[in-house]
Amino acid sequence: MFEKVLIANRGEIALRIHRACREMGIQTVAVHSTADADAMHVRLADESVCIGPPPGRDSYLNIPAILSAATITGVDAIHPGVGFLSENADFAAMVEEHGFVFIGPSPEHIRLMGDKVAAKEAAVSLGIPVVPGSDGAITEDEEALQVAESVGFPILVKAAAGGGGRGMKVAGDRDGLIQALGMARSEAKAAFGNDAVYLERYLGGPRHIEIQILADGQGNAVHLGERDCSLQRRHQKLLEEAPSPALNESAREGIGKVATDAMLKFGYRSAGTLEFLYENGEFFFIEMNTRLQVEHPISEAITGIDIVREQIRIAAGSTLALSQEDIAFSGHAIECRINAEDPKTFMPSPGTITSHHVPGGLGVRVDSAIYGGYRIPPYYDSLIAKLIVHGRNRNECLMRLRRALEEYVVDGVKTTIPLHHELIGANDFINGDYDIHWLERFVDQTPEA
């Protein structure tokens, strides 16, 4: 097992990884920007190294500085966390070239899944159902029109290098498609430096359902069930739950088996997530995330498995100590993302936390790196905390979540806590009756939260 791990990230996820390492008897090295000198992950780590000024590109994305910090502190491995360099295949390769272990999949798997056209082709060859659309990237408008004729309108134009919903445009007819192609290409070029686009049938009211995978690359793979992440605004997830109110046991087992079989065939190693849209009883693969996900704690809550610990064990060369039969699903879990932003406009709200009270009690977990007096820097993602609640069933989970939100105090900045209060009181949500478009309609209809 590793003796020392460098955590190439910040905020709550850096702390999450630190916790797993400490419980495994592994020492931690935090890296941080000058803006994060007082951050909780820096305070708790065994050692810390400043890697640059505040902007992400100069610090948390600064590969030479991170590799130098790893060399100076003599770590065995580097955990990339989520975001930043976590899906950068070149970084993963460089980490290994410098003699460290990258806690994640192989650079080849990261690279393949990072290209959405190649990922979809790989999915098809692995027996995973995908959304009907073009075979690969589209270069000619005429070709696009032909695909649209056979797939039907409305149709979605997506960027091959996509992420965060950028370069994605819906078209209702032929003229709309020509326009959408132009817009999607220029948006993708500006955002990713790559204007390749492809087409997909536009699903009217699907749910976003993703399967958590653990695989060791040595012939073993398991799934930890699904997470329903349909509550999104501008393609950003706000609240996730597991299991999904929309799936029954046989649907869960079916898609879980498709996913684990595919990962075995693929030879995948590490934690990963297959994202699907689910409509009228059918699953359609949209992408694979070759890293830890922000919402991983809800899968931990219903399975009792520490996903980060497993990720570290696998990276250290251990085989999975779990078989699918060992995984027992218990109860229901919900995660609320607490962002420092206006709950109505979603504008970031950085500032100083004047007072802070964290909820507790049975079934309540808070993953957060903030504290009273902490100054939230304006340079990074606005996620400041995750409230994860577990109950024996969905109703108990909802009641517990309501009282946990009532206890939660974060003063000094605006947060999404009031929005979560409103959301969990909505009848559709209580009934589990929502799709990926529901939250945007809800936010538009709700008076000042």
53 touches ligand ADP (CB under 6 A): no
208 touches ligand ADP (CB under 6 A): yes
* Spatial CA neighbour of 205 closest among 30, 440, 448: 440
Instruction: Give 216-244 as a 3 state SS string.
Output: ECCCCEEEEEEEEEEEEECCEEEEEEECC
Q: What is the DSSP letter of 166?
A: T
Q: Is 111 a catalytic residue?
A: no
**Tokens in use for 162?**
């996509």
286 touches ligand ADP (CB under 6 A): yes
232 touches ligand ADP (CB under 6 A): yes
Q: What is the DSSP letter of 8?
A: -
257 touches ligand ADP (CB under 6 A): no
Helix (H/G/I), strand (E/B), else coil: 401: helix
Give me the residue label for tokens 């936010």: 443
Residue 414 C-beta: closest distance to ligand ADP, Å: 25
User: CA triplet 335, 238, 34: central angle to 5 degrees?
Assistant: 90
Contact indicator for 385, 410 with CB cutoff of 8 Å: yes
Angle at which helices 417-425 and 394-407 cross, to 10°: 150
Residue 131 C-beta: closest distance to ligand ADP, Å: 5
Options 111, 185, 269, 291, the catalytic residue: 291
131 touches ligand ADP (CB under 6 A): yes
Contact indicator for 167, 184 with CB cutoff of 8 Å: yes
Q: Which of 2, 91, 198, 202 binds ligand ADP (CB under 6 A)?
A: 202
Q: Which of 54, 56, 163, 331 binds ligand ADP (CB under 6 A)?
A: 163
Residue whose CB is less far from ligand ADP, 119 or 314: 119
Pairing of strands 282-289, 355-357: unpaired
Q: What is the DSSP letter of 277?
A: E
Outline where 104-220 has alpha helix (H): 107-114, 116-125, 141-151, 174-192
Residue 381 C-beta: closest distance to ligand ADP, Å: 15
Residue whose CB is less far from ligand ADP, 12 or 210: 210
Q: How far apart are CA 429 and CA 74, in angstroms?
A: 49
CB-count burial class (<10 Å; 0-12, 13-18, 19+) for 263: buried
* DSSP string covering 45-70: SSEEEEEESSSGGGTTT-HHHHHHHH
* Spatial CA neighbour of 256 closest among 289, 221, 290, 281: 221
Binding mask 419-438 for ligand ADP (x = CB under 6 A): -----------------x--
Residue whose CB is less far from ligand ADP, 162 or 272: 162
136 touches ligand ADP (CB under 6 A): no
Helix count and strand count (H, E) for the chain: 15, 20
Report 295-324 residues binding ligand ADP (CB under 6 A).
none
Peptide bond into 378 cis (omega under 30): no
156 touches ligand ADP (CB under 6 A): yes
* Site size for ligand ADP (CB under 6 A): 18
Phi, psi of 202 (to 5 degrees): -85, 115
Given the rule CB under 6 A, which of 20-28, 138-146, 200-208, 413-421 is the region that contacts ligand ADP? 200-208
Residue whose CB is less far from ligand ADP, 300 or 435: 435
Residue 230 C-beta: closest distance to ligand ADP, Å: 8
Given the rule CB under 6 A, which of 26-34, 40-48, 53-61, 161-169 is the region that contacts ligand ADP? 161-169
Q: Which of 36, 187, 200, 228 binds ligand ADP (CB under 6 A)?
A: 200
Contact indicator for 237, 229 with CB cutoff of 8 Å: yes
Contact indicator for 286, 279 with CB cutoff of 8 Å: no
Residue 424 C-beta: closest distance to ligand ADP, Å: 21
The residues, ordered by sequence, that sit 6+ positions from 300 with a Cβ below 8 Å of its Cβ are 306, 307
181 touches ligand ADP (CB under 6 A): no
290 touches ligand ADP (CB under 6 A): no
Q: Which amino acid is at 133?
A: G
Residue whose CB is less far from ligand ADP, 153 or 329: 153
Residue 207 C-beta: closest distance to ligand ADP, Å: 9
287 touches ligand ADP (CB under 6 A): yes
Strand partners, 339: 383
Residue 421 C-beta: closest distance to ligand ADP, Å: 24
Residue whose CB is less far from ligand ADP, 179 or 236: 236
254 touches ligand ADP (CB under 6 A): no
138 touches ligand ADP (CB under 6 A): no
Residues assigned a catalytic role: 291
Give the interface with ligand ADP as residue ranges (CB under 6 A). Answer: 131, 156, 162-165, 200-203, 208, 232, 235, 275, 277, 286-287, 436
